[in-house]
A and B are shown apart, each in its own frame.
Chain A
Amino acid sequence: MSDTWASRATFLLIAAMTLTLVACSQFEPRDKRFYYRALWNFSLREDLAELDSEFNGVDFGHSNLYENLLLTGGTDIPAIEDRARKETLAFIATRPRINPNEEAIAPTYMKLAWRAQNTFDEAHALHRATYDIVVSDELDKDRAIRNVLAYYQESAYAITAKRLDHHRLDQFPYSKTFRTRFPLFNATIWSYHYLQVAVYDPLQAAPDLAAKTRAVRPILTTYRGYLAQPPVAWTFMPLTAELSPAFAARYPEIANIFDNLHMLHDNISDILASEQLPTWDAKRTEIYRVLNAYYLASADATNPMIVKDQEHHH
């Protein structure tokens, strides 16, 4: 092969790649963003590993569910309630020291709805940052939490900090499909969300690390009980204001973001499980419609789901 030929071939390849990208309707930027860098990064992992490992297990659970719903068409009850749920419980039981690679858990789902996944990733990073701050010896925790909130809200993938009408968001034609068909896994997901929001007030109230460790033990015991016997009697997801009222009162925007994040998880589970959206393309379109119109902060000016008054409706 001559040098000239090789040079031309390389440039032609690059030009073809560029044209393909521009022409393709599924072109989607990756847009990964690093977490807010601070001295308190990973305080939870280093100082309260017992709780951190549970959150690592939660990361596995969401991705494993979505991948299995997608690949099984959302109708195979044993595949979800038995196999996928037990895989998740088995992973949680390993007490993972680092968070799992979610692209290895759900390679198909990530290709279907990366924009939604990136939205989850950034909100989960906000969750992690707030735990780290609360557990750390940072002197001005309030300022640190407001800084990470501001950093989060700079992102194009930030979920709205406004309170959304979750009951309206639970009344789409396909809503409740997942919890009706897969009550065990749905209750398992809600148990994750219980753990994620229930720890804030006890952690904030405890004066030192030893006290924080003691404070989360009962919550972990309750959570592990829920994993063993999922709370199928629950009719709606746990809310931050109900389980950590002091945290929600002090940081209402963050509480709203977390509740909205958890509602978005439920919406996507319903979309993936519903036969009313029979093709992967239809599911992707609906996930992006819901995400763009009702959840991203960039839609605040036109979002009809924003609650106008300050009353809680749950």
Chain B
Amino acid sequence: MNQPILRLVLRFVVLMLGLWPLPGFALDHDNLDPNRPIGMEDAYAIPKGEIGMEGGVRFNDRREGRTRVTFQPQIIYGAFDNAQIEIQGDLMTEPNTLVGATKSGDLHLGLLYNFNTETLQLPAFAIRVETDLSTGVNSKGVDTQMTGILTRSFGRLRAHLNAGYTILGSPQGQERPGAYRAVAAVSYPLGYPDSFRDTLIASVYTRQSDQRGQRNNTGCEIGLRHQLTSRVVLDAGLGTEFYGPTDRAALLGTVGVSVGF
């Protein structure tokens, strides 16, 4: 990663540190949201009435092309029973070179609905519906995505499956009109029975490439969520893509913070 980008990342981290409130209670490190810190989520919504502010910096050191940095500000709200709504607007470096559904500056709206909690017989199920409005750089059309999510625990280990499909409203050039994505992940609370502050997460994923005729981006990620105070969760993750197009990620990294109130 070059020096200007590093400075930018450091400034963002310092800014987020400055925004931390006093200790309290809220966003649970055991409730997993996409990109906090890796690209998977569990089937549970935040509690009804809760407001969460999340933010992070993600870098993608590609095998070909320059390192791309993404800033991920997001607001989530437990608007209804077992449902959260999300507003997000990723900002990326080199916005003119992006292909695929996600463009820098797109306004992203999402709804996660959890059907049920896990019981002895049933996993927890949820559905996520998302739309990207074309407010970003070189963005056209409205993209939509639907994801099914399943969470099942085995003792303290939780397994998660995410399977989604994205439809581009107005694909450009060689962009695919639609692409699927599948993730298998596990999460595990570290420190039991003395500490309940950390959750380890690992995943493997595959997704169709952004452009037609290329191989699936396939990789793995590992991350940690740390409950700093009752209101604040820190996260960090690393990953790599071991199969896919020539510009696939050599190293993915994320640091972020979530604040609930």
Contacts and interface: CB of A to CB of B under 8 A. Distances in A.
Given A42-B230, A101-B30, A21 B115 contact: yes
A314 B71 CA distance: 61
A168 interface: no
Interface string B96-122: 000000000000000000111111111
B196 interface: yes
A33 B82 CA distance: 9
Contact of B148 (A10, A24, A45, A108): A10
B189 A24 contact: no
B156 to A, nearest CB: 5
A64 B25 CA distance: 22
A17 B114 CA distance: 12
A35 B27 CA distance: 12
B180 interface: yes
Contacts of A29: 81-82, 115-117
Contacts of A10: 146, 148, 163-165, 180
A6 interface: yes
B179 interface: yes
A14 B230 contact: no
Contacts of A45: 23-25, 230
B194 A94 contact: yes
B48 A17 contact: no
A291 B45 CA distance: 25
Contacts of B248: none
B34 interface: no
Q: Which of B127, B180, B196 has the most CB of A within 10 A?
A: B196
- Chain B interface SS verdict (over half): loop
Contacts of B135: none
B193 A91 contact: yes
A37 B49 contact: yes
B182 to A, nearest CB: 9
- Chain A interface SS verdict (over half): helix
A41 B49 contact: no
Interface string A16-28: 0110110010111
B135 to A, nearest CB: 26
Contacts of A27: 115-116, 119, 122
Nearest to A117: B117
A306 to B, nearest CB: 28
Interface residues of A, number: 51
Contacts of B28: 101
Given A94-B194, A104-B30, A30 B146 contact: no
Interface in B16-74: 22-26, 28-30, 44-50
Contacts of A33: 47-49
A102 B105 CA distance: 39
Given A17-B115, A26-B121, A101 B49 contact: no
A99 B23 CA distance: 12
A306 B83 CA distance: 35
A105 to B, nearest CB: 7
Interface string B140-167: 0000001010100101100000011101
A86 to B, nearest CB: 11
Given A7-B165, A21-B115, A98-B227, A107 B194 contact: no
Closest 4 interchain pairs by CB? A34-B49, A6-B180, A30-B117, A32-B47
Given A7-B165, A21-B116, A24-B122, 11 more contacts: A3-B208, A10-B148, A27-B115, A32-B44, A33-B47, A34-B47, A34-B50, A46-B23, A64-B193, A101-B29, A111-B119
Interface of A: 1, 3, 6-7, 9-11, 13-14, 17-18, 20-21, 24, 26-35, 37, 41-42, 45-46, 60, 64, 87, 90-91, 94, 96, 98-101, 103-105, 107-108, 110-112, 114, 280, 284
10 contacts: A7-B178, A17-B125, A30-B116, A30-B117, A34-B26, A45-B23, A101-B30, A104-B189, A108-B155, A111-B119
